[in-house]
């Protein structure tokens, strides 16, 4: 595994392994690897990308009621969509857990964890690497994941790849008649405005 100064990566890894289903743990390993590759490609801090990837789903196994309760306790903004689909809260709650339980103080890493589902209006390159790594890790076999992997290997920009990733998420929600998180829309708009400038 990778090493980060003052962080016991192996200890976090074994804790996560103990609480995650094998498939989720395997996904986490895949995201770490994809985050490393993407960080190298797009010249982002590799250690931060791997650390965010390691903890990105640390709250994923919590049920909806617990996620809402913890979000309220931590003062996380809860949208109407979060109330209906609380699983979305595993990202911001996970960032709080990374800080409070796993002792991560790096704000860049915490922000990347918090925004790994629907992004944010002010995404950093690290945030983009993590959301993409979550989508294209080698365990993902969907058509969209394959397409996105191809786009990235063919040299698309980090912003364009991230817009495409958000588009896939939005299209999936619309197709499955699910609730669209307003943050997904504002993320997309902000990225589009950025590349048009």
Q: Which is nearer to Fe ion, 33 or 194 (CB)?
A: 33
Closest separation between CB of residue 133 and Fe ion, Å?
A: 9
Q: Which is nearer to Fe ion, 101 or 194 (CB)?
A: 101
Contact 166, 191 (CB under 8 A): yes
Closest separation between CB of residue 194 and Fe ion, Å?
A: 24
Residue 104 CB burial class (10 angstroms; 0-12, 13-18, ≥19): buried
Closest separation between CB of residue 196 and Fe ion, Å?
A: 29
Closest separation between CB of residue 134 and Fe ion, Å?
A: 4
Q: Which is nearer to Fe ion, 47 or 117 (CB)?
A: 117
Q: Which residues have CB under 8 Å from 14's CB, separation 6+?
A: none
Q: Which residues bind Fe ion (CB under 5 A)?
A: 57, 134
Q: Which is nearer to Fe ion, 16 or 163 (CB)?
A: 16
Contact 105, 82 (CB under 8 A): no
Tokens coding 13: 């890894």
């Amino acid at each position: 595994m990778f090493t980060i100064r003052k962080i016991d990566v192996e200890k976090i890894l074994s804790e996560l392994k103990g609480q995650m289903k094998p498939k989720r743990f395997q996904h986490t390993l895949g995201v770490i690897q994809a985050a490393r590759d993407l960080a190298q490609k797009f010249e982002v801090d590799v250690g931060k990308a791997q650390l965010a990837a390691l903890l990105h789903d640390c709250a994923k196994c919590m049920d909806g009621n617990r996620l809402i309760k913890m979000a309220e306790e931590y003062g996380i903004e809860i949208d109407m969509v979060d109330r209906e689909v609380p699983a979305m809260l595993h990202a911001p709650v996970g960032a709080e857990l990374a800080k409070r339980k796993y002792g991560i103080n790096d704000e860049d890493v915490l922000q990347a964890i918090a925004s790994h589902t629907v992004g944010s209006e002010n995404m950093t390159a690290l945030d983009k690497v993590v959301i993409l790594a979550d989508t294209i890790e080698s365990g993902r076999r969907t058509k969209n994941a394959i397409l996105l992997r191809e786009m990235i290997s063919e040299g698309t920009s980090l912003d364009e790849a991230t817009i495409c990733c958000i588009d896939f998420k939005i299209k999936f929600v619309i197709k499955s008649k699910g609730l669209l998180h307003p943050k997904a829309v504002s993320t997309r708009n902000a990225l589009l405005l950025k590349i048009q400038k």
